[in-house]
Amino acid sequence: MSRRIVIITGGGIGIGRATARAFGALGDHVVVTDILEKEGTAVAGEITQSGGSAEFRKLDVRSSMAADALIGEVEKRRGRIDVVIANAGIAHKVPLAELSDERWDYTFDIDLKGVFRIIRPALAGMRQRQSGAIVALSSIMGSTYGWNEHAHYSSAKAGVIGLVRGLAVELARSGIRVNAVAPGYIRTAQLLSKEHSLGPDGAEAAAPIIPMGRLGEPEDVADVVTFLASKAARYITGQTIVVDGGLQVGRY
């Protein structure tokens, strides 16, 4: 019973991959989920090859039915779910004049409703056990900054923070803690995309304006996520921890 059961969405790449590996290194059983089968399977394999415990389950967080089924199946096999990391997300650059209802809804369906979908079915078991930790991934573009041609993304990520606050209050007496992490400029495929974000040159140009003088790495975020899910954070709930190397306080 000392080995926690951890579910993470979007665990195949970037921050999700680093977070899955971090929980694996702690000795937890990690259920890596993603729509990217090859990448997700590889992450689970990395954990097991390093002596940890992990499995991969394909999951599209746009489907409530799929999320409900996954949670139910894991609870049946493993007996419980201790930690949920709601990490899956997208960020597509779309000018406002071209931002259709469909594109807006697509972003919210993954970045906000996807968080809600993976949390909701896990709550009954957590309430019964009077124990659980939930961490959702937001962004500094939802907590502090606006982002040019990403109004839909910033809005969804701001919604994650509101969801976390509301759930934290509602679930606190049930022994369930709910927090968020808001990463800054982290060296991921998303940040390095020229089409949808800064691109490699833009990312390197941004590094000097960060007070710590470098871009963040996925592991910088993963360590904060594992902390928030740990007993060391037992009296923390409803919070959004910014992980940005001082960018926010350095500019404002």
- By the 8 A CB rule, do 27 and 230 touch? no
Say if residue 235's pLDDT is above 70: yes
DSSP 34: E
Per-residue pLDDT, averaged over 85-92, amounts to: 94
Q: Helix, strand, coil: what percent of the chain each, to 5?
A: 50, 15, 35
Q: Which of 16, 26, 124, 116 has the alpha carbon at shortest distance from 72?
A: 124
Round to whole Å and give the CA distance between 166 and 219.
Answer: 28
Q: What is the pLDDT of residue 52?
A: 97
Q: How far is CA 123 from the centre of its chain?
A: 17
> Which of 80-89, 144-153, 179-188 is modeled with the greatest confidence?
80-89
> In the annotation, is 153 catalytic?
yes
Q: What is the pLDDT of residue 125?
A: 98
Say if residue 203's pLDDT is above 90: no
- By the 8 A CB rule, do 109 and 62 touch? yes
Per-residue pLDDT, averaged over 88-97, amounts to: 91
Query: From edge to edge, which strands make up the β-sheet containing 5-8?
Result: 53-58, 29-34, 5-8, 83-86, 132-137, 176-183, 240-243
Round to whole Å and give the CA distance between 169 and 156.
Answer: 20
In which band, very low, low, confident or very high, does the pLDDT at 188 lie, cut at 50, 70 and 90?
confident
Q: Tell me: the pLDDT tens digits for 25-69?
A: 999 999 999 999 999 999 999 999 999 999 999 999 999 999 999
Q: What is the pLDDT of residue 2?
A: 72
Q: E strands of 110-209, at which residues?
A: 132-137, 176-183
Domains, in order of start, for the chain: 5-186+217-251 (3.40.50.720)
Which is the catalytic residue, given 145, 153, 185, 235? 153
Say if residue 119's pLDDT is above 70: yes
In which band, very low, low, confident or very high, does the pLDDT at 23 lie, cut at 50, 70 and 90?
very high
- By the 8 A CB rule, do 200 and 225 touch? no
Using DSSP's 3-state secondary structure scheme, residue 195 falls into coil
In which band, very low, low, confident or very high, does the pLDDT at 104 lie, cut at 50, 70 and 90?
very high
- By the 8 A CB rule, do 88 and 107 touch? no
Question: Greater confidence, 2 or 177?
Answer: 177
pTM listed for this prediction: 0.95
Per-residue pLDDT, averaged over 172-194, amounts to: 86
Q: Which of 3, 9, 50, 10 has the alpha carbon at shortest distance from 29?
A: 3
DSSP 135: E
Q: What is the pLDDT of residue 191?
A: 63
